[in-house]
Amino acid sequence: MSSIIYPITNLKATEQLVIDRGEGAYVYDKSGKQYLEGLAGLWCTSLGYGNEELIETIATQTRKLSFCHMFGGKTHEAGMQLSDTLAQMVPMDNARVFFGNSGSDANDTQIKLLRYYFNAIGKPEKRKIITRERAYHGVTVAAGSLTSLPVNISFFDPPVEALGILRTDHPHYYRGRLEGESETAFVDRITHNLEQLILREGPATIAAFIAEPITGASGVIVPPPGYYEKVRAILDKYDILFWADEVITGFGRTGSDFGCNSMHIERPDMMSFAKQLSSAYYPISAALIRGDMYEAMVEQSTKVGVFGHGYTYSGHPVACAVAGKVLEIYQRDKLFEHAATTGAYLQNRLAELAEHPLVGEVRGKGLIGAVELVADKASAKPFDGPDVINRAALQCQENGLLVRPVAGTSLAMCPPLIITREQIDELIAKLSQSLDETLGVIK
Ligand code: PMP
């Protein structure tokens, strides 16, 4: 034990795994036992562990300039270069980039950018944000108010009303459908509900709709075909911005460069990134907005003299240098293409597990996936509470595979982008064995 208050942890639990070192797609505990990193740390270590080029980049930048803030006219090469590379990569119009340190603070920043922008264009009443049930967008006070998962909001009393956060349906067909409802009818119903919510609240009061193109922490939900096209048509009709939270889905994760492209979301107005932006070698996040939104803010900032938002570590030079190198490696080593083919292989192999008696649904796209465990396959009856899913995750750990129980029902997989087919076979074999053993224990 130690003096740490552990994050996202049952504080009463005493079992801990002390991770000691990492190499490639594997980490090792104190006893030297090897674990395949089936979740890339927390959906982030895309280039795996111990990458010498990244270590070298960190050392070189640290020697050259270990810190430089970006307030009031200061900047540095690594940050400027990274912002340009990002702006060119994303499917946005003349994107502008604000750097932070975590996915949560990127989303907090976006809330402030929205307010600043709508104040600038004379629409101060346009400030509500639509999020979805089951959403995960971080845990800070503001971003945590966009999150809908009960474990992350219970007892924290997030200021949902003060921030004008509205919730709409999650596109989770397996759990959200009515009896006998087709996917198309499901999409029609929930997008109708979205439009009704907008009309009830008043379109002139709603700034943006936030969504992860494919979710992570809420169970790796891949929306049915046509969902985003319908959502976007409604948002466009009422002049509401589309804000893509790509903290997990950015950079090759879902089988193409960005989740928006995998899910046919055309030119989002805002995008949030963290995690794979630096392959987690250094904390860094980026909040991107459309160029014309930025132009409006420029005028606004002259009224009080500065744009008064920024963190000490906004654009930390070492983080920027390492993120720049990460993006270079993605492109040089064609890692998005590699992730697309190994991702297709992962999905094929995961699909085999659909036959397992414990598995209600297999979901995923590219190199992200999940299996949802059920008490009864035919009726899709869930287990009472998270004990079984936690047990299954522990069983995987015992078998040398790290995956994560999410949303109390599912085991999520999100291996490093560098994973090989052989390692995917290893992942599936260990997962399958662990599911068998879990079944044996709970029977
Ligand atoms: N958005 C999404 C979609 C995430 O998955 C996460 C983290 N899992 C966050 C935001 C918050 O990121 P962080 O933990 O770096 O604050």
Task: Output the tens digit of pLDDT for each of the chain's 443 residues.
Answer: 689 999 999 998 878 899 999 999 999 999 999 999 999 999 999 999 999 999 999 999 999 999 999 999 999 999 999 999 999 999 998 999 999 999 999 999 999 999 999 999 999 999 999 999 999 999 999 999 999 999 999 999 999 999 999 999 999 999 999 999 999 999 999 999 999 999 999 999 999 999 999 999 999 999 999 999 999 999 999 999 999 999 999 999 999 999 999 999 999 999 999 999 999 999 999 999 999 999 999 999 998 899 999 999 999 999 999 999 999 999 999 999 999 999 999 999 999 999 999 999 999 999 999 999 999 999 999 999 999 999 999 999 999 999 999 999 999 999 999 999 999 999 999 999 999 999 999 87
Residue 102: how many CB atoms within 10 A of its CB?
A: 20
With a 6 Å cutoff on the Cβ, whether 138 touches ligand 1 is yes
Rounded to two decimals, the pTM is 0.98
Give the integer Cα–Cα distance in Å for 67 and 34. Answer: 36
The predicted pLDDT at position 1 comes to: 65
CATH of domain 54-332: 3.40.640.10
Give the integer Cα–Cα distance in Å for 360 and 371. Answer: 7
Q: Which atom of ligand 1 is nearest to the CA of 245?
A: 3
Sign of the dihedral through C-alpha 40, 46, 52, 54: negative
- Give 248 Cα–ligand 1 centroid separation in angstroms: 7
Which residues face 27 on adjacent strands?
A: 22, 35
Query: What is the C-alpha R_g of the chain?
Result: 22
What tokens appear for 218 in the block? 């809420």
With a 6 Å cutoff on the Cβ, whether 286 touches ligand 1 is no
Beta strand extents in 101-191 (DSSP E only): 128-132, 165-168
Alpha carbon dihedral 428, 432, 435, 439, in 10-degree steps, equals 170
User: Which H helix or E strand runs over 355?
Assistant: none
Q: Which atom of ligand 1 is nearest to the CA of 42?
A: 8
The predicted pLDDT at position 35 comes to: 98
DSSP secondary structure string, 364-408? EETTEEEEEE-SBTTTTBPPSSSHHHHHHHHHHHHTTEE-EEETT
Q: Which atom of ligand 1 is nearest to the CA of 274?
A: 15
Residue burial 325-363, b: 16+ Cβ < 10 Å; e: rest: bbbebbeeeebbebbbebbebbbebbeebeebebbbbbb
Half-sphere exposure of 177 (CA within 13 A, CB side): 15
Q: Which atom of ligand 1 is nearest to the CA of 285?
A: 15
8: CB partners within 8 A, 6+ apart: 151, 152
CB distance 147 to 136 below 8 Å: yes
CB distance 277 to 323 below 8 Å: yes
Q: Does domain 19-50+334-442 have CATH number 3.30.70.240?
A: no
Give the integer Cα–Cα distance in Å for 187 and 226. Answer: 7
- Give 34 Cα–ligand 1 centroid separation in angstroms: 27
Q: Which atom of ligand 1 is nearest to the CA of 140?
A: 16
Domain boundaries, the chain: 19-50+334-442, 54-332
- Give 322 Cα–ligand 1 centroid separation in angstroms: 19
Q: For residue 257, what is the DSSP state?
A: S
- Residue entry with tokens 């009061």: 205
The predicted pLDDT at position 321 comes to: 98
Of 247, 270, 276, 279, which is best to mutate to test ligand 1, by the most ligand atoms within 8 angstroms of its C-beta? 247
CB distance 294 to 96 below 8 Å: yes
With a 6 Å cutoff on the Cβ, whether 136 touches ligand 1 is yes
- Residue entry with tokens 């008696």: 357
